[in-house]
């Protein structure tokens, strides 16, 4: 969700700055874009297709998520010359570190999860079980690198509630910079 906000804001800002400067918007030249599609494929297959979230064993899902994160990091590294990409790379590294340190899933504290789904539903989840699409429910005392976990929430007035990490914020800021501040040929 926060990535989509960064992408949208980056495009709007990029188009606005281009218009203000009197030249057409030029999208960034991304090398090895196929890595993004290959990198997202494990997550798509494991998390978003049918009932695979339940039928695929946790170890295989974790491996898919880690593989996905690693491939996205390679893509970002190969495009590191773009404005904003180093911020995005930092976010990917933070997310990869916390996911790796916690068994291949992004940890989320039960208190944060409760604010998303409510107290009556959180009691149906066991500590250490998968929560949502890519998270694992862990108390702060059992979470490695807890400060990098999914711990931030959108404002309470937002109709869509989702937790996100510091790495997610940096990824969104990096994506914003990539789309908003590309140099023109004119």
pLDDT (tens digit, 9 = 90+) per residue, 132-145?
778 999 999 999 99
| CA–CA gap between residue 95 and residue 92 (Å, rounded) | 5
164 token code pair? 């996100």
Q: Which helix (H) or strand (E) holds 107?
A: strand 106-108
User: Looking at residues 96-113, what average pLDDT do you find?
Assistant: 96
User: Looking at residues 48-66, what average pLDDT do you find?
Assistant: 83
Lowest mean pLDDT among 73-77, 124-128, 135-139: 124-128
User: Looking at residues 85-100, what average pLDDT do you find?
Assistant: 98
Q: What is the pLDDT of residue 132?
A: 79
Indicate the length of the chain as a whole number. 186
| CA–CA gap between residue 112 and residue 39 (Å, rounded) | 28
Residue appearing with tokens 């911020």: 87
Is the predicted pLDDT of residue 49 greater than 80, yes or no? Answer: no
147 token code pair? 């400060």
Among candidate residues 47, 94, 51, 45, the one with its CA nearest the CA of residue 72? 94
Q: What is the pLDDT of residue 50?
A: 67
* Predicted TM-score (pTM) above 0.75: yes
Cα dihedral: 108, 111, 115, 121 (round 10): 90
Q: What is the pLDDT of residue 133?
A: 78
């Amino acid at each position: 969700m926060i990535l989509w906000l960064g992408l949208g804001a980056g495009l709007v800002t990029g188009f606005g700055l281009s218009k203000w400067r009197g030249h057409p918007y030029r999208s960034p030249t991304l090398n090895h874009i196929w890595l993004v599609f290959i990198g997202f494929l494990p997550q798509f297959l494991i998390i978003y297709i049918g009932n695979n979230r339940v039928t695929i064993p946790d170890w295989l899902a974790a491996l898919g998520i880690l593989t996905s994160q690693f491939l996205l990091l390679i893509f970002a590294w190969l495009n590191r010359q773009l404005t904003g990409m180093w911020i995005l790379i930092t976010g990917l590294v933070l997310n990869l570190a916390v996911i790796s340190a916690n068994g291949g899933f992004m940890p989320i504290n039960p208190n944060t999860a409760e604010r998303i789904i409510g107290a009556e539903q959180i009691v149906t989840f066991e500590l250490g079980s998968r929560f949502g699409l890519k998270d694992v429910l862990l108390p702060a005392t059992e979470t490695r690198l807890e400060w990098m976990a999914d711990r931030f929430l959108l404002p309470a007035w937002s109709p869509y509630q989702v937790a996100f990490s510091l790495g997610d914020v940096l990824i969104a800021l990096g994506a914003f910079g990539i789309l908003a501040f590309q140099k023109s040929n004119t």
